Amino acid sequence: MTPEPFSPPGTDESMAGPPPGCPAHGIGPGGARRLYGPEAEDLGAVYEKLRAEHGTVAPALLHEDVPMWVVLGHSENLHMVSSPSLYSRDNRLWTALQDGTIKPDHPLMPHMAWQPICCFAEGDEHLRLRGAVTGAMSTIDHRGIRRHINRATQHLVNKFCEEGRADLVGQFAEHLPMAVMCEILGMPEEYNDRIVQAARDMLKGTETAIASNAYIMDTLTRLTARRRAEPEDDFTSHLINHPAGLTDEEVGQHLRVVLIVAFESTANLLANVLRVVLTDPGFRAQLNGGQMTVPQAVEQSLWDEPPFSTILGYFAKQDTELGGQRIRQGDGLLLGIAPGNVDPRVRPDPSANMMGNRSHLAFSGGPHECPGQDIGRAIADVGVDALLSRLPDVQLACEEDELRWRASISNRHLVELPVYFEPKPQQDVKALPGHAPVPSQRKDWQIGTMQSEPPAAAPKPQPAAPPRQAAPAPAEPARPKGAWRRFRLWWRGY
């Protein structure tokens, strides 16, 4: 296939585009497809059309018809992120920004405004800033964090377990990452509904987003000042005292990036995994039957529904070629995580189980590859396991097609995940790990064990799945109950 040349708007007579309401409305100047507007309601379908029309790298249009390449191929995405001599995250190189195609009030400007942080930095400056972040991360006690994730999960479940119903997005998936990140940063006392609300608000870009950002920055600036004066053994103190010598301004900005990236991505991941468990009987049966572990389920979700579907963006440092397309210096390219994950060359059968394979693009790759992926995975692994152990009979409390999503070019996330279950007593969160009651085993949270009716107030309960859909749980050998088992639970962070 010969890819069509991609002409920026203004260079082609087809500029006018079809009038609103025309069936071809998803096509803009130069014949490129739009990634916004009505067409963008199903971006996955748009990416497949682009793949069929152009191959692994396709021309497309962002809001206000700003041209952008979308990288759809798995290996092309990896090549791009791993070639810092050709492509940069520094959007000041972008021709569309330099020549005024992107106006200061462009809707994506909040996501694009350059800042002196590691995400946009390159070369030595990137090494300095990222080195401080990864250096501080290397001091995190991962077993201690897993224990904290488990305790935070128990605490959150205690808040709704007696009610027999909950919204697992608003009451769980959005809270757990924030609780864990506040602990990691060294400000557990700042974790509350307000900071969760502020982070959510910032990302939604509502009219109160600026005030919410100010609230979070104020919290982080106060934390920086406290730790500069009196360091402790936490991420913030290690970031401040790293030999890279970050200024207070740089420390505050990096705390904000870490907090917000971790919040958004991990909340999405938790909600996505739980939704599949609740809506796909085959998936849940595999978990219950032991054919799939929770970490494998998390990895599957990172393939199928990566928390960031694209990253805006990478920018060409010189004229080059990618996927058969001629890329000019200053062109912008969208890192296509979701389309790259379903590239038929790496996944001929997109419904196939990836069995824990980690070569998806969810964490990107190359010099900017997500440095927090172990923490994101730990929150999802421990959080989902602990929640399902507490609520083995949890069921979706609405029809699957009633679930609502909020979509943007960078991600698609659930607004709510209403569930019901048999009301449960609270559990002691503070008990020492070795003396904690042994959590019920996964064998219990299988389909078909749902005996109880949902509480009267629960909306539109789903009937329990018929027993024929359940994978027969293999007879488990009697488990050791002594010190070794307690040690193992402690070791895993319980």
**In what helix (H) or strand (E) does residue 412 lie, and over which residues does it extend?**
strand 412-414
Q: Is 277 in the site for ligand HEM (CB under 6 A)?
A: no
- Least Å from the CB of residue 118 to ligand HEM: 4
Q: How far is the CB of 490 from ligand HEM (least distance, A)?
A: 23
* Only segment of 160-168, 192-200, 361-369, 448-456 that touches ligand HEM (CB under 6 A): 361-369
Can you give the C-alpha Rg of the chain in angstroms?
24
Instruction: Check binding of 332 to ligand HEM (CB under 6 A).
Output: no
Please identify which residue in 371, 433, 439, 455 interacts with ligand HEM, judged by CB under 6 A: 371
Question: Which string of b and e fits 89-105 if b means at least 16 CB within 10 Å?
Answer: bbbebbbbbeeebbeee
Number of residues that bind ligand HEM (CB under 6 A): 27
Pattern of binders to ligand HEM over 192-221, x per CB under 6 A? ------------------------------
Q: Which of 89, 256, 275, 360 binds ligand HEM (CB under 6 A)?
A: 89
Q: Is 154 in the site for ligand HEM (CB under 6 A)?
A: no
The backbone region for 143, taken as left when phi is positive above 0, alpha when psi lies in -120 to 50, beta otherwise, is alpha
CA pair distance 122, 128, nearest whole angstrom:
10
Q: Is residue 133 a contact point for ligand HEM (CB under 6 A)?
A: yes
Residue ranges of alpha helices (H) inside 168-315 are 175-185, 193-204, 209-229, 235-240, 248-279, 281-288, 294-304
Q: Which of 258, 254, 237, 242 is nearest to 180 (CA)?
A: 258
At 490, list the tokens: 């402690």
**How far is the CA of 469 from the CAs of 102, 154, 288, 400, in angstroms?**
52, 29, 12, 17
Under the criterion CB under 6 A, does residue 368 sit at the interface with ligand HEM?
yes
Interacting residue with ligand HEM among 29, 252, 372, 448 (CB under 6 A): 372
Query: Which residue pairs from 315-320 have beta carbons closer than 8 angstroms and sit at least 24 positions apart in sequence?
Result: 315/87, 315/88, 315/89, 315/90, 315/91, 315/93, 315/94, 316/86, 316/87, 316/93, 317/85, 317/86, 317/87, 317/88, 317/93, 318/86, 320/86
**Is residue 465 near ligand HEM by the rule CB under 6 A?**
no
Is 118 one of the binding residues for ligand HEM (CB under 6 A)? yes
* 89 vs 165, beta carbon nearer ligand HEM: 89
- The one segment of 58-66, 69-77, 254-262, 432-440 that binds ligand HEM by CB under 6 A: 254-262
Q: Does 266 contact ligand HEM by CB under 6 A?
A: yes
* Contact with ligand HEM (CB under 6 A) among 27, 257, 403, 429: 257
- Return all residues near 86 (Cβ < 8 A) that are at least 6 apart: 80, 316, 317, 318, 320
Compute φ and ψ for 420, nearest 5 degrees: -135, 160
Site stretch for ligand HEM (CB under 6 A), options 238-246, 344-352, 358-366, 474-482: 358-366
CB-nearer residue toward ligand HEM: 157 or 258 = 258
Binding segment for ligand HEM (CB under 6 A), chosen from 71-79, 167-175, 282-290, 304-312, is 304-312
- From the list 58, 185, 195, 262, which residue makes contact with ligand HEM (rule: CB under 6 A)? 262
Q: Are 32 and 14 in contact (CB under 8 A)?
A: no
- Is residue 265 a contact point for ligand HEM (CB under 6 A)? yes
Shortest Cβ 298–ligand HEM spacing (Å): 8
Mark 46-75 with x for binding to ligand HEM (rule: CB under 6 A) and - for no binding.
------------------------------
Bridge partner residues of 327 (DSSP): 320
**Is the peptide bond prior to 493 cis by the omega test (within 30 degrees of 0)?**
no
Longest CA pairwise span in the chain (Å): 78
Closest CA to 336 of 48, 17, 90, 121: 48
| Residues making contact with ligand HEM (CB under 6 A) | 81, 89, 118-119, 130, 133, 257-258, 261-262, 265-266, 269, 307-308, 311, 335, 362-364, 368, 370-373, 375-376
